[in-house]
Structure 1
Amino acid sequence: METQSHNNIQERPTPSIKGRASVEDNQLMKAVTKEDIKLVQQLLEGGADVNFQEKEWGWSPLHTAVQNGQEDIVDLLLRYGANPCLRKKNGATPFIIAGIGGNVKLLELLLSKGAEVNECDANGFTAFMEAAVKGKIEALRFLYKCGANVNLSRKTKEVQKRLRKGGATALMDAAENGHVDALKILLEEMGADVKACDNMGRNALIYALRNSDHRNVEVITRLLLDHGADVNVRGEKGKTPLIMAVEKKHLGLVQMLLEQEHIEINDTDSEGSTALLLAVQLNLIGIAQLLCEKGASTDCGDLVMIARRNYNSSLAKFLLLHGAREDFHPPAEDWKPQSSRWGEALEHLHRIYRPMIGKLKIFIDEEYKIADTSEGGIYLGFYEGQEVAVKCFCEGSTHGQREMSCLQSSRANSDLVTFYGSESHKDCLYVCLGLCEQTLEEHLDKHRVEVVENEEDEFARNVLSSVFKAVEELHLLCGYTHQDLHPGNILINSKNAICLADFDKSIKWTGEPKEIKTDLEALGLLVLYVVKKGDLLFETLKTKSNEEVIQLSPDEETRNLIYHLFNPGENVKEHLSGLLGHPFFWSWESRYRMLRDVGNESDIKIRKRDSNIVQLLQPGTSEHSRSFAQWTSKIDNYVMEEMNKYYEKHKRYKNTVNDLLKFIRNLGEHINEERNKKMRSSIGEPFQYLQKEFPDLVIYVYTKLRNTEYRKHFPKTHNLNKP
């Protein structure tokens, strides 16, 4: 917004300004300021720069002439080539300055010379907005006729937008500055949107009540309310119009607001103060009585004590008659939250007064917002005293009903986010869920490290095991499919447990395989995303083909798991139950133990060629070469020699899979013996050594034996149907 002091310069574009001004340039500016048209013409004819801009603020002769309303000098400057689109340092053009003065002739002239009716300065002000600030009615009508956007909101630079600045409209400007006639024209002739809010969520009603100086606040408030302004909107520090009216000590305003059908009389500001509590603190007996008579709750603070401290015994008696308590006890100050991330906000919410919504205590305010959603956001709250995340929906929302239905069918202590209950109030549905510290995506962003190949990844195994179990429960017990699996829907709580959330897009499974396949394919992408520690963005993975995703896998177990997720076969519903027994979820020690147990089969130990297990483990003729094809040459020489000493020369280990398994079994039997210390020092832990030397061996054995009786050697895994 422009002012006479020219001090509105934050975040401004820099105009082209001469390094040094000539004597004629400075004389031209002085002549324009003194309104000496003859001298102005003389200097222009003598070569003075008509587009000269002074260095400090970027004022040009045309800007100055427009500010002073000098129509003849403006016309002269334009005839000598003055640029009507030249901008000061704060981005203001002569046309925008003309809006401040409200001079219709100048506005018309500048428009004819190329000005744009909706052009704005660096702070988002247009000529129409400036006219509203100053209450220039004729300018407003003229600009509206020329196409000015009545409901245009002020656009700010990104750094200001992040601070939630900007977004105000001309209606808010007129309301704040007390211009009744301008407000009427904007509302009744031009259709200004009374429900519009700026980037802080404030509407014209808040703007009207912010200014305590103008005398028209009642008239303007009535105008805005009659045109449907939201009476429960919030301003600075979470104050509602009712609270602001009490702070103004304005009984008439309070009475007017209380007449509104949907007034929230017990709403609090960000400090937990209600209108009644403030009225008592300010010793406003008339307003306090009016609020109580209209049903304000007296359970909002130690009202009786405050009244007595103000030596107002009559107010104290009145409050007692309306239910106030002598023994009011605020929440314990030594209460500490469980959550570390949300602790400060939870302590504040616990301390302040909030009217209960059934069993729920919540405050819809930015301080307590966890995340935005497409409908209403997620906020901190307390449900029966328990810290919760509250997902807000419009009453009757399809997404809200899906979320509720899905969670109500989940079991206790599952891998789905905990569902505590729900409440409905004022056309809103509040779904109360277990409070978590961060999403998987946030965790990986904070703890991203370079992926180390061939190292055991317990984090990925634990995370994905929980996610698989959660989706399995969703499919088998709840009868739903998620349809929106991604890293932002996987949460980590204060105990580092993983749970699945966000079921507002879930659907009841109809029996159509594609519905479950959608979840399985998303799980395939999640597997790679987690294994790669988020280095491959999930949105990027969604653009790749299944084959490309499989090829990006860093190890055999991951590659095989993703392949089976992308190719589930016919029994899609129970497919995850089988995959939870996949080697990906086995620790390296468990993998090693499985290989030892298979190698301990008597038919393998005695090399019984025609036995079932020996035949099963033989590579097919079409199978490509494996890491263990010439395995005896890959084992540490000393270890190989020592292990062969247990056999006569013709019975030594051969390059077969069965002999490798036999070797692994025997290695486990002998490596910890006292005489084999050197062998142990050569290879370290056998389970690590073998995983690195033969990375595809476990998957090979798993694939050959998983549908046979020998799967008895596999580690025991999760079974959803067991208690």
Structure 2
Amino acid sequence: METKSPNSLQESSTPSDTETTSGDGIQLLKAVKEGNIELLQQLLEGGAEVNFQDEWGWSALHNAVQCCREDMVNLLLHYGADPCLKKKNGATPFIIAGIVGNVELLKLFLSKGADVNECDDNGFTAFMEAAVHGEEEALKFLYENGAEVNLSRKTKENQKRLRKGGATALMDAAENGHADILKILLDEMGADVKARDNMGRNALMYAFRKSDNGNLVDIIPLLLYHGADVNVRGEKGKTPLILAVERGHLGLVQMLLEQEHIEIDDTDSEGKTALLLAVELKQKEIAQLLCNKGASTDCGDLVMIARRNYDAPLVKLLLSHGAREDGCPPVEDWKPQSSRWGKALEHLRRIYRPMIGNLKIFIDEEYKITDTSEGGIYLGFYEGQEVAVKRFSEGSTRGQQEVSCLQSSRVNNDLVTFYGSESYKDCLYVCLALCEQTLEEHFAACSGEAVENEEDVFARNVLSSVFKAVEKLHLLCGYTHQDLCPQNILIDSENAICLADFDESVKRAGEPQEIKRDLQALGWLVLYVVRKGEVPFETLKTKSNEEVIRLSPDEETRDLIRCLFNAGDNVQGHLNGLLGHPFFWSWENRYRTLRDVGNESDIKKGVFKSKIVQLLQPEKSECSRSFARWTSKMIHHTHNCCLGVHLSCSPLNSTREETVHCLVHC
């Protein structure tokens, strides 16, 4: 009999074939779930699809592992089951073996090619699953076979954007109350107690998520003994101390208060301290403990709350520790200057926060302006003034450089205003004027709004301010910026421009190369601003100087960029000269200049046939617009005109006679 090709038409699947396969597959899953190995073998011998998966991706092998049926697992593997087959959520038979804690199956799948650190789509490894479910033997076996103890959960990009993921096996064990697993991880496997997930939570916070109070009494001391951060924050800004108060557990509160660096007056995102919560929850013993440990009673209307609860002993306790009858000061009529950050500023002003010197700040996502390479920028109040607070680790070279540069340039109005700095808990807080947006954000918001043949006053004002800022930075402060870019040019609530971000600035020691780097960046910025951000700044940095100049829309811009790129050796004061460049002239000033240096006799005599008079003749009520015609008639043909030579070479050095000569003979 002739053998048919596997690709022949006769061998194609028909609907009845599909239905048969599906039916046999369902029977296969059912046989495993019911533990009927005889039926399982019969179906396999009858040709049932061994790797059939239901709508959730469960195969017979996944089910056999879940049921810890090693005999069924071996039978399925014998008939070709894929040992690395994944469910819809990415879980493999090996990971499921970690969940059920079956060491023999873990050993078997490792021999079949499983990766000891393989994970499902949510980032769970077999080791993590063993920690979640308290499977001690499986945990030890996996550790001995190379499982990474401190591996953090990796998630899909959409989940990562929501700050999901990042948890470790230690956090899993703490959350599920497995004190024995926790002890093994910490004492025997070197688990990192300082590790945090993508939301900044550590194992201490995870312990409060699901574990009951009984388990917490065993778990919390272990974590604290190994150095867990006691001031970490979780959901809604709550600290372990606040969570312990919410649970009403006096022993846990006492345990946490005994920690050397406990922040007893820390607040949650609603501005509530541990003491305020204890009063609200009528927890007199915990309130007394907190007061005895020095908790501030200036954190809300504590006495009023206690009176409302008819708790006279608590009222007496609070008054004895300095609480006021009118704990909340009267609400003042205050409106934020910032429209963009107004709502968050109002909330921050309203809630209680312990002061850091003259600074009120809350390190929370609600008040974050942006991320930085170190500690982020947050909203705050410095001496009552709304500010942007740039956060550094104490001793940071970048932080010290920022403060040093800002202190030397306090009189420079074109640089961001520096109010002061504070240090607290190994952090440096640099307080700056709060602005509405960056130059990059401005152009992103105004994309597509460019109008042809209109005077670009915004571009001229922005670049004039930046040039002045950099010039003063160089000459008066003795610094170079070294990071000039659209993100570091800020626009305040009154649309004023200022230069910011000096943590890469360099104190000059007579070396012109640093100045030239700033001038080069200014050249890119000129084109970026004139083209209204349509060419990304990072793209401009990759282009040659000739390409950047070629992209310029007009001769004035080309010449200004050329002057920046080719500054020569004498760079001191170079920007001061460029601030008089024709690029910075208004259209009206250009018109007046041309009028003044033109053929004066023709103008005075009204020789209307004169070329210069015709070129300078303004249209009715559109004096400044006439310059657009001037550029189209004269600048457009600069390659045939000696004026073009002056503009492209050294326009600032052209004599009056040369300019007049150009105007008359063009």
Q: Give me the TM-score of the superposition, normalised by structure 2.
A: 0.91
Aligned position for 1:707: 653
How do 1:89-488 and structure 2 match up within 5 A?
89-213=88-212, 215-330=214-329, 332=331, 334-412=333-411, 414-449=413-448, 454-488=453-487
Change (3 A) 1:705 1:229: closer
Aligned position for 1:646: 607
Q: Distance in 2 between matches of 1:19 and 1:489?
A: 64
Aligned position for 2:626: 686
Change (3 A) 1:338 1:682: closer
Aligned position for 1:32: 32
Deviations 1:668-721 (A, max 9, x none): 5xx6xxxxxxx759999433321332236787666777337759x99xxxxxxx
Deviations 1:481-518 (A, max 9, x none): 00110010001111111110000111111111111111
Alignment partner of 1:44 is 2:44:
yes
Deviations 1:309-348 (A, max 9, x none): 1111221122122121112234627532111111111111
Q: Distance in 2 between matches of 1:291 and 1:558?
A: 66
Aligned position for 1:626: none
Aligned position for 1:499: 498
Give the drift of 1:376. Answer: 0.7
Change (3 A) 1:592 1:681: closer
Deviations 1:630-684 (A, max 9, x none): xxxxxxxxxxxxx9x938xxxx64xxxxxx55665xx45xx6xxxxxxx759999
Q: Percent identity?
A: 73
Deviations 1:221-261 (A, max 9, x none): 00001111111110000001111111111111111111111
Q: Distance in 2 between matches of 1:91 and 1:215?
A: 35
Q: Distance in 2 between matches of 1:460 and 1:405?
A: 30
Q: Any conservation in 1 of the 2:304–2:326 contact (CA below 8 Å)?
A: no
Give the drift of 1:548. Answer: 1.4
Give the drift of 1:183. Answer: 0.5
Q: Distance in 2 between matches of 1:44 and 1:93?
A: 21
Change (3 A) 1:246 1:705: closer
Deviations 1:57-103 (A, max 9, x none): 12111111110111111111111111111111111111111111101
Change (3 A) 1:681 1:405: closer
Change (3 A) 1:432 1:112: same
Q: Distance in 1 between matches of 2:141 and 2:543?
A: 55
Q: Any conservation in 2 of the 1:440–1:490 contact (CA below 8 Å)?
A: yes
How do 1:653-668 and structure 2 match up within 5 A?
653=610, 661=612, 664=615, 667=616
Change (3 A) 1:95 1:333: farther
Aligned position for 1:4: none
Q: Distance in 1 between matches of 2:321 and 2:491?
A: 46
Give the drift of 1:568. Answer: 1.6
Change (3 A) 1:593 1:19: farther
Q: Distance in 1 between matches of 2:588 and 2:20?
A: 79
Greater mean deviation of Cα atoms: 396-405 or 166-175? 396-405
Q: Any conservation in 2 of the 1:331–1:351 contact (CA below 8 Å)?
A: no
Please tell me the residue identity of whatever aligns with 2:358.
K
Give the drift of 1:273. Answer: 0.5
Q: Any conservation in 2 of the 1:177–1:208 contact (CA below 8 Å)?
A: yes
Q: Distance in 2 between matches of 1:681 and 1:280?
A: 72
Q: Distance in 2 between matches of 1:45 and 1:556?
A: 84
**Matched residue SS, 2:76:** helix
**Matched residue SS, 2:31:** helix
Give the drift of 1:197. Answer: 0.7
Q: Any conservation in 2 of the 1:453–1:554 contact (CA below 8 Å)?
A: no
Q: Distance in 1 between matches of 2:19 and 2:237?
A: 48
Change (3 A) 1:412 1:701: same
Q: Distance in 2 between matches of 1:705 and 1:48?
A: 87
How do 1:60-79 and structure 2 match up within 5 A?
60-79=59-78
Q: Any conservation in 1 of the 2:591–2:624 contact (CA below 8 Å)?
A: no
Change (3 A) 1:699 1:372: farther
Q: Any conservation in 2 of the 1:683–1:689 contact (CA below 8 Å)?
A: no
Please tell me the residue identity of whatever aligns with 1:292.
C
Q: Distance in 1 between matches of 2:126 and 2:211?
A: 26
Please tell me the residue identity of whatever aligns with 1:46.
G
Aligned position for 2:14: none
Q: Distance in 2 between matches of 1:207 and 1:194?
A: 12
Q: Give me the TM-score of the superposition, normalised by structure 1.
A: 0.84
Q: Distance in 2 between matches of 1:285 and 1:86?
A: 57
Deviations 1:125-158 (A, max 9, x none): 1111111011000000001111111111111111
Q: Any conservation in 2 of the 1:331–1:350 contact (CA below 8 Å)?
A: no
Aligned position for 2:559: 560
Q: Any conservation in 1 of the 2:304–2:325 contact (CA below 8 Å)?
A: yes
Q: Any conservation in 1 of the 2:21–2:48 contact (CA below 8 Å)?
A: no
Deviations 1:357-400 (A, max 9, x none): 11110001111111111111100000111110000111121111
Q: Distance in 2 between matches of 1:20 and 1:276?
A: 68
Gaps of 5+ in 2: 1-17, 661-666
Q: Distance in 2 between matches of 1:123 and 1:705?
A: 64
Q: Distance in 1 between matches of 2:498 and 2:19?
A: 63
Q: Distance in 1 between matches of 2:458 and 2:511?
A: 33
**Matched residue SS, 2:476:** helix
Give the drift of 1:554. Answer: 0.8
How do 1:509-520 and structure 2 match up within 5 A?
509-520=508-519
Alignment partner of 1:531 is 2:530:
yes
Q: Distance in 1 between matches of 2:211 and 2:309?
A: 25
**Matched residue SS, 2:266:** coil
Q: Any conservation in 2 of the 1:32–1:65 contact (CA below 8 Å)?
A: yes
Aligned position for 1:10: none
How do 1:77-92 and structure 2 match up within 5 A?
77-92=76-91
Give the drift of 1:605. Answer: 7.9
Please tell me the residue identity of whatever aligns with 1:706.
L
Give the drift of 1:405. Answer: 1.2
Please tell me the residue identity of whatever aligns with 1:341.
R
Q: Any conservation in 1 of the 2:581–2:652 contact (CA below 8 Å)?
A: no
Please tell me the residue identity of whatever aligns with 1:555.
D
**Matched residue SS, 2:306:** helix
**Matched residue SS, 1:584:** helix
How many residue pairs were aligned? 637
Aligned position for 1:631: none
Aligned position for 1:582: 581
Q: Any conservation in 1 of the 2:481–2:502 contact (CA below 8 Å)?
A: yes
Give the drift of 1:532. Answer: 0.8
Change (3 A) 1:688 1:27: closer
Aligned position for 1:53: 53
Give the drift of 1:20. Answer: 7.0
Gaps of 5+ in 1: 1-17, 607-642, 654-659, 672-678, 715-723
Q: Any conservation in 2 of the 1:333–1:351 contact (CA below 8 Å)?
A: no
